[in-house]
């Protein structure tokens, strides 16, 4: 497990678990065991039935992790496909008539939701992008004003991938349902880190991704409440009750199921340990680095996520200097890492371009130790001091 890793006597500390996670040993072992499960899970012979049995066991584990009933999770290729499936469904519903053709989402969604909403906007649907306050919480009064008899879907992520802010999804769902709308949440960053229960949240659709919970990449899930509409995004076969065509990804799905079992069993330990390490990191950095700003909500936040800004230092320069020192973190969403623009999430919270450009996200996970945290606290302050000394921007 990453945390401290030694390669050619070089110390490396991985603190970018919101971007992706390594396979847990239990997951790796289960996947190695399943390498011999070659049968097509749609076939009726013995090999096919064996594969199907394992796929359904994995589905049960994923459903248990989010408090869902049986046969409510559809396996997909990941979070982006799951989110796009929901938005495609809403586009089809709106074009079919019925009077509901308005979408409400937030201005800090993951790009696969934000861009999907923009696509619907281009198809003639009205889309409201809700503002957020300085902590990343959506404006509930604006939500109330946006809801009406034409609202088709409200989609708000449960926990933000950059700043870790956790939304009050239960209240959002209550307001949306009162207006007759369907409710979707991108819970990719929340599942496995905080308790997630689809009934308590009141959502109709919930998105998950295996590689955020120490499972394999290329597999995810979409929870669909019984009775909620769903139009296949991938067509061509009868798999997943006709809602998602394609030969089952046996190995990925089985890895996802094992990751879900481990996450369910260790959720409380994960929350406690990563929150303690996050707090240790923040306290250590705040004592050593003057004029550092913490981004996101102070209490309604993922236990593993710390986003901080360093006035007078540029984020990519910080990132490269940390990487040279053996510390791996990020400047924001890994899906937008090629952009030179400041983070839309941080800008939406009211952070100016200079602070947004000078922000670093530390996201912790299994394998990180107190010694790793102390190593970051030792190495980062001189990096910030050096970059500030070189900068023309006042810190």
Quick one: pLDDT at residue 339?
54
Rounded Cα distance between 127 and 123, Å, is 11
**So what's the pLDDT on residue 59?**
97
Query: Residue 318 — φ and ψ, nearest 5°?
Result: -60, -45
**Amino acid 354: pLDDT:** 84
Q: Which residues pair with 360 in a beta bridge?
A: 308
What is the DSSP annotation of 73-84? EEEES-HHHHHH
Could you read off the pLDDT of 282-323 as tens digits, one per residue?
Answer: 999 999 999 999 999 999 999 999 999 999 999 999 999 999
Nearest of 254, 289, 292 to residue 381 by alpha carbon: 289
CB 1 within 8 A of CB 24: yes
How many other CB atoms are there within 10 angstroms of residue 337's CB atom? 12
Two tokens at 179?
């207006």
pLDDT classification of 8: cutoffs 50, 70, 90: very low
Query: What are the strands of the beta sheet with 293-295, ordered from one edge?
Result: 293-295, 305-309, 359-363
Q: Identify whether the C-beta of residue 187 lies closer than 8 Å to the C-beta of residue 172.
A: no
Q: If DSSP codes are grouped into helix, strand and coil, which group holds residue 4?
A: strand
CA-wise closest residue to 256 among 222, 297, 227:
222
CB proximity list for 95: less than 8 A, separation 6 or greater: 123
Chain segment 242-292, per-residue pLDDT in tens: 889 898 899 999 999 999 999 999 999 999 999 999 999 999 999 999 999
Beta bridge partners of 209: 220
pLDDT the model gives residue 260: 98
pLDDT at 7 over 50: no
Cα 172 to Cα 143: distance, rounded to the nearest angstrom: 8
Domain boundaries, the chain: 4-23+267-390, 25-262
CB-CB contact of 113 with 83 (8 Å): yes
- Alpha-carbon span 44 to 205, nearest angstrom: 31
Q: Measuring CA to CA, which residue among 375, 272, 262, 318 is closest to residue 5? A: 375
* Residue 315 CB-half CA count within 13 A: 25
pLDDT digits (tens, 9 = 90+) for 177-234: 999 999 999 999 999 999 999 999 999 999 999 999 999 999 999 999 999 999 999 8
For 161-177, write each residue's pLDDT tens digit.
999 999 999 999 999 99
**Mean pLDDT of the 6-29 span:** 87
Of residues 140, 267, 334, 335, which has the active-site annotation?
335
- Given the structure tokens 């530390």, which residue do they identify? 362
The predicted pLDDT at position 5 comes to: 46
How many whole angstroms from its chain centre is CA 174? 23
**pLDDT given for residue 392 in this prediction:** 57
Q: What top-level class would CATH report for the domain 25-262?
A: alpha beta
Chain center to CA of 281: 22
Third-level CATH fold of 4-23+267-390: 3.90.1150
Looking at residue 240, its pLDDT comes to: 83
pLDDT tens digits along 116-163: 999 999 999 999 999 999 999 999 999 999 999 999 999 999 999 999
- Whole-angstrom distance, CA of residue 358 vs CA of residue 356: 5
Report the pLDDT value the prediction gives residue 1, as an integer from 0 to 100: 62
Structure tokens, 256: 């996802």
- Chain segment 329-383, per-residue pLDDT in tens: 998 644 545 556 788 999 999 999 888 888 999 999 999 999 999 999 999 999 9
Q: Which of 154, 113, 159 shows the shortest CA–CA distance to 135?
A: 159
Q: What is the mean pLDDT of the chain?
A: 93
In this prediction, residue 6 has a pLDDT band, given cuts at 50, 70 and 90, of very low
Active-site residue flag, 34: no
Contact yes or no for 223/92 (Cβ under 8 A): no
């Amino acid at each position: 497990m990453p945390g401290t890793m030694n390669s050619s006597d070089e110390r490396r500390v991985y603190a970018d678990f919101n971007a992706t996670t390594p396979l847990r040993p239990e997951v790796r072992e289960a996947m190695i065991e399943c390498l011999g499960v070659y049968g097509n899970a749609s076939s009726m012979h013995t090999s096919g039935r064996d594969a199907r049995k394992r796929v359904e066991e994995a589905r049960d584990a994923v459903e248990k992790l989010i408090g869902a009933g049986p046969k409510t999770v559809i396996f997909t290729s990941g979070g982006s496909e799951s989110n796009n499936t929901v938005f495609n469904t809403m586009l089809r519903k709106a074009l079919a008539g019925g009077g509901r053709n308005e979408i409400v989402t937030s201005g800090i969604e993951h790009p696969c939701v934000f861009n999907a909403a923009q696509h619907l906007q281009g198809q003639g649907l009205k889309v409201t992008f809700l503002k957020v306050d300085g902590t990343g919480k959506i404006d509930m009064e604006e939500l109330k004003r946006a809801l009406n008899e034409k609202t088709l879907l409200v989609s708000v992520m449960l926990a933000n991938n950059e700043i870790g802010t956790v939304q009050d999804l239960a209240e959002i769902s209550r307001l949306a349902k009162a207006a007759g709308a369907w409710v979707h949440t991108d819970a990719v960053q929340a599942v496995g880190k905080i308790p997630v229960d689809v009934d308590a949240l009141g959502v109709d659709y919930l998105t998950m991704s295996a590689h955020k919970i120490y499972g394999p990449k290329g597999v995810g899930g979409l929870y669909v409440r019984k009775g909620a509409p769903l139009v296949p995004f991938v067509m061509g076969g009868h798999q997943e009750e006709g809602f998602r065509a394609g030969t089952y990804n046996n190995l990925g799905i089985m890895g996802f199921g094992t990751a879900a079992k481990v996450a369910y069993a260790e959720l409380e330990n994960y929350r406690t340990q990563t929150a303690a390490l996050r707090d240790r990191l923040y306290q250590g950095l705040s004592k050593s680095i003057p004029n550092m700003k913490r981004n996101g909500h102070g209490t309604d936040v993922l236990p593993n996520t710390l986003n901080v800004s360093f006035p007078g230092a540029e984020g990519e320069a910080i990132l490269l200097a940390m990487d040279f020192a053996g510390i791996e973190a990020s400047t924001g969403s890994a899906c937008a890492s090629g952009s030179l623009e400041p983070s839309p999430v941080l800008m939406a919270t009211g952070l100016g371009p200079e602070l947004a450009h000078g922000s670093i996200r530390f996201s912790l996970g299994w394998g990180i130790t107190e010694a790793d945290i102390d190593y970051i606290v030792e190495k980062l302050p001189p990096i910030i001091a050096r970059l500030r000394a070189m900068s023309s921007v006042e810190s």
